[in-house]
Structure 1
Amino acid sequence: MEVPLSPRGLRWLDRVCKLVGLVLLAAALEGSLGEWSLVAGLAGFLIGGGTIFLDPAE
């Protein structure tokens, strides 16, 4: 999927999404979110991996 971002902007977006995903996964695995741990883990997985399918528009 093409996105209207420069390669530099897409790289920034990718790093931020990966960081947010890792934080959510770590919090879910630790269990610090209580009953929301499963939801946070799934959200972290989707957010962190969501940018794999993005390509910068040329």
Structure 2
Amino acid sequence: MDDLDRQRELRRLRDEVLSTPNCLRCVQRMEPAEVDGEPIWQCPECGATRSA
């Protein structure tokens, strides 16, 4: 396993631990947000949202 593969694996494990979903449109890591008082996930790249 080279360095890049190791970094990808560590990032994947970190994301699993944080339970951070990836955007289904652009595959970026989503960030927690709030809309109308409801917690959601929102993509910082394309703006897509997902229920928390």
State the TM-score bracket (shorter-chain normalisation): 0.3 to 0.5
RCO (CA 8 Å, sep 6+): is it higher in 1 or 2?
Answer: 1
Provide the TM-score with structure 1 as the length reference: 0.34
Instruction: Kindly indicate which of the two structures has a greater share of residues assigned to strand.
Output: 2
